[in-house]
Amino acid sequence: MAKDLVNTLADLKEDEAIAIVQERLSKNEDPMKILNEAGRGMEIVGKRFSESRYFIPDLVYSGEILKKINELVKPKLTGGGEVKKGGKVVIGTVAGDIHDIGKDIVVFMLDVSGFEVTDLGIDVPVQKFIDAIKETKAPVVGMSGFLTLAFDSMKQTVDAMKEAGLREQVKVMIGGGQITDEVVKYTGADAFGKDAMAGVTLARKWTGN
Amino acid sequence: MEKKWEEMTPDERQEALFARWISPEGATFASPEAEKAYKERATRIKDAIQMKKLPDRVPIFVLPSFYPIYYSGMTPRDSMYDYDKSNAAFKKFVIDFGPDGNLGAAVPGPGKFFDIMDYKLYSWPGHGVSPNHSYQANEGEYMMVEEYNDLIEDPSNYFYKTYLPRVFGALEFWQQLPSVTGIVEMYGVAGNFIPFGLPPMQEALKKLMEAGEEALKWGQAMGAFGGDILASGYPVIVAGFTKAPFDFLGDTLRGTRGLMVDMYRNPDKVLKAMDVLTPLMIKMGVNTALGAGNPFIFIPLHKGADGFLNDEQYKKFYWPTLRKVMIGLIEQGVVPFPAAEGGYNSRLEVVKDLPKGKTMWLCDKLDMKKAKKTLGQVACLAGNMPSALLNLGTKQQITDYAKKLLDDCAKGGGYIMSNGSFFDEAQAENIHAMVEFTREYGVYK
C-alpha cells in the first residue's frame, strides 16, 4: 500500500490516512518525514478552505485527524522538535470575551500557511498581549472578539501597545462577528479580516511572506 | 359558535393566536391612548408578517441584549441580582425609544439561581466574566460521543441522569436517579426511591428548593414586567424559544467541534438524534406560545451560518429538521421567529421553501436585496441595521443605511426595521435616528 499520505489527509480520509501512518511507522520510516507530509496535507486543506471548497467542519475534522497522526508519530520522534518557519504572529481573544471558534480558525489557517503563531487563548488581559509582543518580537498581532463589548478591550490593548512604545513595531489586525471599518478606526487597529483567509492575507502582506 | 382548536386550519389558528395577542384577555391598560397604541403596534407587526395587506408603516424593533442595562448606568452584574432595577431599566429603554416590538426583560436572568445551581454551560458577570460584561456560553462537550444511543433511546432520562448533573453542579447526585419508566406496578416500586433517602440527594434537593424559590421570584418579576409594559402600550414579540435540532446538538450537547466531527465519523447517529429531538423542539415552542397567548417563538440559528457547513451538509444535516420544527409550529398557529446570526447568504435559496406569511426572520449580515428577492417573497424580514454602526456610526450614517434598507426591502410589505444582531453598546442618538427616520420614511402611502 503505497498510498499518498499528503492527498489522503487533504481529502479527509481518516481511516486510510491513519492506516498509512501505522504501516509506515511499522516499517521504521523516519517519523519527521511522515509529519512533514501531514503538514503538506494540511496546507492543501487550508488552500481548499481559502478557495471555499472546504468549510469550517472540514478544518475541524482535518485537525482531529492530524491530532491522531501526531499521537501515533510523537512517541517515535527522537529529539528535535518542529522546525519553525515563517513570520511570527501573536493572537488572542480580547479581555472580557471568551469566544474561541473564530480565533481558532485563524490560528489554524496561519499555522498551515507557515506562520509561527503564539496563541494567547481567550479573555486575554491587555498586559498579556504586551508581554507576548515583547517576548516574541512578533511583527503581527491579531485580536479577536465576538461581542460589541470587545471593541473597548481592543482599543485598550492598542492603547497599551502605544504606551509601551510597541505600536510602531507591530501591525494589528482584528476580527469577529460585528467588526467593520468603523471598529478598526475606533480601536486604532490597522485592518480587519472578514474571515480567516483575509487574516492570512494581511499577515502575509505585513511580514512579506 | 367558535371552532375548536383541533378543528381549525393552521391559518385559523394563527389568526386566533394573533387575536389573543392583539386583544389580551383581562389586560388593563394605563390609558385609552396606551390601549390604542398597543393595538396599532401589534396590528402593524401582524400585517408585516402575514403579507396579506400593507401595514400603515414599516414596524420598528430595537432588539438589545444588555444595552438597556448600560443605558440606565447599571452593570450586567447588577441586573442579574436585582430584578426590579433591571425591569426598570428595560422599561425605560422601551419607553424612551418607543419600538413597535420589544423582547421583554428576560435577557439578564436570575444570577442567584445560577449561583445556587452552579451552572456550567455559561459564565456570567462576576462568575467567570467581568461584572461589566454579558454572560457567555462555555464551549464544550456536555454530551460525549458514546452517549448518542442513550439520548436517542430515552432523551428525558438522558437529560435527568446525565446531562443535568453535568451542567449543574448542584445536581451531581442525580446521576443516581432511577429511570422513571421503571417505576411501575407494585413490586420494586419503592426501591426506585431509595436514592432520595440518601444524604447527598437530600442536600441536592434542599438546594433545588432554594433555587426554585429564586426562580419563582424572578418569574414573578418577569410577569410583572410583561403586565407593566403591555399596560404602557408596548407589545412583547417573543413568547419563548426553541432551537434547530442541529443547534440543540451543537450548542447544548456536543459542542461545535464535537458535532462537526460527528458529521464525518457518526453521520447516522447525528441524523437519528435530530429526528428524536425534532418533536421535542416543536412541543417546546408550541406549548410556550399557546400558554402565553403570544404567537412568537424565537429560534436563534447558529451552526448553519455561511461557512459553518457546506451546501450539502446544510441540506442534509441542518435544514430538514429545522424546517420540520418550523412547520410544526406553523401548524399550531405559532410564528417562528428565526434569527439568522452571521452570514446566511448561501442559505437563502434553501430556506425560502416555507409557506408564505408564517415566519419572521431576523437578518444579521445578509445581502438584503438578495434576501428580499428570495426568502423575502414568502417571509417577513426584520433587521440588518449593523450593531457596529449603532455603536460607532454617526446619525447620518444611520439614516443613510436605514433609507437603503427601506428602499430595498419595504416595498410591498413584509419588512421590519431592526438591528440585525443583539447589542450591548450603542449611541442612544443613533437608535433614535433609526426609529425616527423609519417612522417618517417608512409610512406606506
Which CATH number fits the domain that encloses residue B428?
3.20.20.210
pLDDT band at A1 (very low <50, low <70, confident <90, very high): very low
Please tell me if residue A60 touches chain B, with a CB cutoff of 8 Å: yes
Average pLDDT over every residue of A81-88: 68
Strand B240-241 and strand B136-137: pairing? unpaired
Tell the residue number behind the cell numbers 440559528, with chain if given. B301
From B42, B45, B100, B2, select the one nearest B413 (Cα to Cα).
B45
Domain assignment of residue B199, yes or no: no
Asked whether the beta carbons of B134 and B424 are under 8 A apart, the reply is yes
**Which residues of chain B fall below pLDDT 50?**
none
Report the mean per-residue pLDDT for chain A: 89
SS3 A148: coil
Inter-chain touch A177–B421, beta carbons under 8 Å: yes
From A36, A17, A29, select the one nearest A82 (Cα to Cα).
A36
Name the residue among A57, A148, A179 with its Cβ closest to that of B260. Answer: A57
pLDDT band at A83 (very low <50, low <70, confident <90, very high): low
Please tell me if residue A108 touches chain B, with a CB cutoff of 8 Å: no
Q: Select from B263, B264, B395, B400 the residue whose CB has the most chain A CBs within 10 Å, as the one to mutate to test that interface.
A: B264
Q: Measure A131 CA to nearest chain B CA, in Å.
A: 22
- Choose between B417 and A36: higher pLDDT: B417
Q: Select from A55, A100, A126, A151 the residue whose CB has the most chain B CBs within 10 Å, as the one to mutate to test that interface.
A: A55
Per-residue confidence (pLDDT) for residue A79, from 0 to 100 = 60
Per-residue confidence (pLDDT) for residue B445, from 0 to 100 = 85
Inter-chain touch B423–A186, beta carbons under 8 Å: no
From B422, B305, B414, B361, select the one nearest B44 (Cα to Cα).
B414
Domain assignment of residue B282, yes or no: yes
Domain assignment of residue B143, yes or no: no
Domain assignment of residue B168, yes or no: no
Across-strand partners of A111? none
Average pLDDT over every residue of A13-18: 96
| pLDDT for A80 beyond 70 | no
Domain assignment of residue B188, yes or no: no
CB atoms within 10 A of CB B435: 21
Q: Which amino acid is at A180?
A: T
Name the residue among B136, B386, B392 with its Cβ closest to that of A99. Answer: B136
Chain centre distance of CA A207: 15
Contacts of B132 in chain A (CB under 8 A): 96, 149
Cα B195 to Cα A183: distance, rounded to the nearest angstrom: 55
Per-residue confidence (pLDDT) for residue A43, from 0 to 100 = 86
Contacts of A12 in chain B (CB under 8 A): 264
Inter-chain touch A182–B139, beta carbons under 8 Å: no
Domain assignment of residue B398, yes or no: yes
Please tell me if residue B392 touches chain A, with a CB cutoff of 8 Å: yes
CA dihedral A82, A83, A86, A88 (to 10 degrees): 60
Per-residue confidence (pLDDT) for residue A13, from 0 to 100 = 97
Contacts of B365 (CB under 8 A, 6+ apart): B342, B343, B344, B384, B386, B420
Per-residue confidence (pLDDT) for residue A101, from 0 to 100 = 82
Per-residue confidence (pLDDT) for residue B274, from 0 to 100 = 98
pLDDT band at A97 (very low <50, low <70, confident <90, very high): confident
Contacts of A54 in chain B (CB under 8 A): 310
Q: Measure A179 CA to nearest chain B CA, in Å.
A: 7
Inter-chain touch B387–A178, beta carbons under 8 Å: yes
SS3 B362: strand
Number of domains in chain B: 1
From B206, B169, B424, select the one nearest A152 (Cα to Cα).
B424
Per-residue confidence (pLDDT) for residue B380, from 0 to 100 = 98
Phi, psi of B426 (to 5 degrees): -165, 165
Domain assignment of residue B244, yes or no: yes
Cα B199 to Cα B205: distance, rounded to the nearest angstrom: 10
Q: How many residues does chain B have?
A: 445
Across-strand partners of B383? B363
Per-residue confidence (pLDDT) for residue B20, from 0 to 100 = 97
CB atoms within 10 A of CB B308: 22
Per-residue confidence (pLDDT) for residue A81, from 0 to 100 = 53
Question: What are chain A's domains?
Answer: 5-76 (1.10.1240.10), 88-207 (3.40.50.280)
Q: Measure A43 CA to nearest chain B CA, in Å.
A: 19
From B340, B204, B226, select the one nearest B294 (Cα to Cα).
B226
Domain range enclosing B340 = 5-61+237-441
Inter-chain touch B123–A100, beta carbons under 8 Å: no
Average pLDDT over every residue of A31-55: 89
